[in-house]
Amino acid sequence: MKNSSGGKGSMSTASSITTWKAGDVVPVPDQFPAGLRVLVVDDDPTCLIILEKMLRNCSYDVTKCNRAETALLKLRENRNGFDIVISDVHMPDMDGFKLLEHIGLEMDLPVIMMSADDGKDVVMKGVTHGACDYLIKPVRIEALKNIWQHVVRKRKNEWKDLEQSGSVEEGDRQPKQSEDADYSSSVNEGNWKSSKKRKDDEDETEDRDDTSTLKKPRVVWSVELHQQFVAAVNQLGIDKAVPKKILELMNVPGLTRENVASHLQKYRLYLRRLSGVSPHSCNPNNSFMNPQDETFGPLSSVHGLDLQSLTASGQLPAQCLATLQAAVLGRSTAKSSIPMPLVNQRNIFSFENPKLRFGEGQQQHVNNNNKQVNLLHGIPTTMESKQLTSLRHTSQSIGNVNMQVAPHGAQNSQNNSSLIEMGQPLSRVQILNDSTVPLSVGQPIVPNGIAANVSTRNGIPENIRAPGYNLVSQTSSILNFPMNQASELPVDTFSLRSTLGMSDHTSKGAFHEDFNSEIKGSGGFLPSYDVFNDCQYKSQNWELQNAGMILEDSQHSNSLQGNLDLTQSVLVQQGFPSGQINGQNRSVPIVSKAMFSAGDSTEPGNLLNVNHHLNTIRADNTVRVKSESVADGNPSNLFAYHFGQEDLMIALLKQVGSFYFLLFTYQWEYLFTQFDFPTATRHHTSRKRVRFRWVFLG
């Protein structure tokens, strides 16, 4: 087996996911795990030398570092150069857990922590940060002999996630590898696969083989992929980033220059929007209104208050909001249909809420990541109870929501760590937010929803992927999200996530485990959808979906009712777990929007009526009601709600997440423009439907 001259990247599929070896040395496939490329980090020279020798004796390919910074550098230089990392917990220059987080975010490699400290807390910390194992010093060679299992397990999970999500990314890559002229790599691949077969589900590999027969599918810009893309762009410098170079840097088999080029184009637009938005501190309203027509005005005023308060409280990153607005507004080029602005909005809410919910642990799915619950804890507590109660009853002002949000926001920052516990998804999110990470969804702005969403991934990896973008075409898309629709939903989710501030910082470890797969596939689709589906809102979801569609199609009059329902359902689906949203926004703008769109030139009064109607319609469905209130969530509110920190938002925007968010907000904005809220006139007729093509998240 020759050293992979073409090995680099040949075997690496979504590199991080399926790469077995992409480095210079290609381990002999038959002798797996021989040649496993290990990076060991420890400031203790004695331990380091012993570990190195032990690993060498295991036939692993060892690189040692005595400083975390050096380790990170090595990892960044050669993203595909290592299979697993072993790191000490206590290091002078960087905390081992921090390193763990970085690695999880940036490289998504399995990381084993070790320490002489065997206290339960420390070990637990390792777990929550996403370490795949924890070794107590002194480390015996027997403990090291089996570390390959973590590599295999991770890959297996990633594959499974990809497959389930319906993404052909992996499949695409896999065949590509086989097609490589590099015999060794294909041999390796084949052997890897066969060895994997022995270990894993045989069907898995077979599926992958089958995908090789597929025509090169549309490239799914998973979170992971986008992360690589951003890293490459950053490395080259945004000015010098040309598709060809980016492609080379990314080193992703199966990706073409054209893919990169089109993605780069979108990314540039996104960045431009970001830079074009000047921070309007405490002027969310302004930004809100300026770009668009006056329709926003009323909304702004409604929400403005909230926004103001939110921003004042620091919960709402004004800049973020402004940016969002600008971004959304600026994005006049409708690339894709805005499936359902309403829905989107609702999505936001749902995301938000679910997140909160997650914190509450309502979402069972979400609870896959035990951490999730924690994440939201801040919000859910405040919101949930209120919402639930209010939901049933009179509508609560948005202020309620906002207020809740605000305090929550404050909590958010404080609770970041707790949020982070949310679990992996959160960590993932956080990772996204991490500025050092190319794909940073953004700081945990809204730990609640987003994290939840992310975490839901655990149970619903595919869902995330699916969420396709076509909200329009498929109301179900929104709802289908969990249904594995390769739609734009992920984008929404993603943006939501990012905007919401996947607040989970700390739970990087855990996060990245789940998140990785999740994010990758879904590109940020909020698992909340998934959760919802699971949450027996299926039927409703469908309704919502339909609603979304209806709105989309602007079948107003008839749909009004339907829309409303949909809205609700959408909202519900979105994950308004406990109707947190419910109580809050009676005046559900979204709902009202729906109503408006429905073709009823509904005055605000109508809105109320609708609201009531909605409430009554689904009296039984708490969720629905919730959605109502949620709908009310002005986008600004929504964001404010979720964004705990301005910087997070900014960071978020700057990252992939924001990119998606941008798309999402665009839809959202569109929604607003569509529905002339205050005047209750439908303007959408005059508007060209923007079709968002959520190509990024598939």
Residues in contact with other proteins by CB under 8 A are 44-47, 49-50, 53-54, 57, 88, 90, 115-117, 137-141
**Identity of the residue, 73 or 141, whose beta carbon is nearer to other proteins in the bound complex:** 141
The residue length of the chain stands at 698
Contacts of 648 (CB under 8 A, 6+ apart): 317, 320, 433, 442, 443, 444, 445, 501, 503
In the Cβ-directed half-sphere of 291, how many Cα atoms lie within 13 Å?
Answer: 27
The number of beta carbons lying within 10 Å of the beta carbon of residue 361 is 18
Q: Minimum distance from CB of 152 to other proteins (Å)?
A: 25
Q: Minimum distance from CB of 52 to other proteins (Å)?
A: 10
Q: Minimum distance from CB of 89 to other proteins (Å)?
A: 10
3-state secondary structure of 53: helix
139-149 residues labelled b (16+ CB within 10 A) or e (exposed): beeeebbebbe
How big is the CA angle at 335 (ends 334 and 340), to the nearest 5 degrees? 70
Helix or strand run (H / E) with residue 456: helix 452-459
3-state secondary structure of 363: coil
Residue 93's identity, in one-letter code, is: D
- Give me 380's structure tokens: 């859910």
**464 and 521 Cβ atoms separated by less than 8 Å:** yes
Q: Minimum distance from CB of 46 to other proteins (Å)?
A: 4
Q: Minimum distance from CB of 141 to other proteins (Å)?
A: 6
- Give me 239's structure tokens: 């000015």
Cα(434)–Cα(130) distance, integer angstroms: 16
Q: Minimum distance from CB of 42 to other proteins (Å)?
A: 9
Q: Partners of 40 in the beta sheet?
A: 64, 86
Cα(338)–Cα(679) distance, integer angstroms: 22
Phi, psi (rounded to 5 degrees) for 14? -35, 60
Centroid of chain to Cα 596: 31
**Identity of the residue, 47 or 650, whose beta carbon is nearer to other proteins in the bound complex:** 47
Phi, psi (rounded to 5 degrees) for 465? -60, -50
Q: Minimum distance from CB of 54 to other proteins (Å)?
A: 6
Q: Partners of 387 in the beta sheet?
A: none
Q: Minimum distance from CB of 47 to other proteins (Å)?
A: 5
**Identity of the residue, 124 or 619, whose beta carbon is nearer to other proteins in the bound complex:** 124
**255 and 219 Cβ atoms separated by less than 8 Å:** yes
Residue (of 461, 579, 470, 472) closest to 520 by Cα position: 461
Task: Give the start-end residues of each E strand in 261-383.
Answer: none
How big is the CA angle at 619 (ends 532 and 585), to the nearest 5 degrees? 70
Q: Minimum distance from CB of 112 to other proteins (Å)?
A: 16
DSSP secondary structure string, 397-423? Answer: PHHHHHHHHHHHHHHHHHHHHHHHTT-
**Identity of the residue, 133 or 306, whose beta carbon is nearer to other proteins in the bound complex:** 133
**Identity of the residue, 54 or 132, whose beta carbon is nearer to other proteins in the bound complex:** 54
- Give me 77's structure tokens: 């230089």
How big is the CA angle at 416 (ends 415 and 419), to the nearest 5 degrees? 85
Q: Minimum distance from CB of 137 to other proteins (Å)?
A: 5
**Identity of the residue, 92 or 605, whose beta carbon is nearer to other proteins in the bound complex:** 92
- Give me 504's structure tokens: 């989970």
Q: Minimum distance from CB of 33 to other proteins (Å)?
A: 19
Q: Minimum distance from CB of 58 to other proteins (Å)?
A: 11
Please report where in the chains the tokens 């990012």 appear, as a residue: 498
Cα(129)–Cα(136) distance, integer angstroms: 17
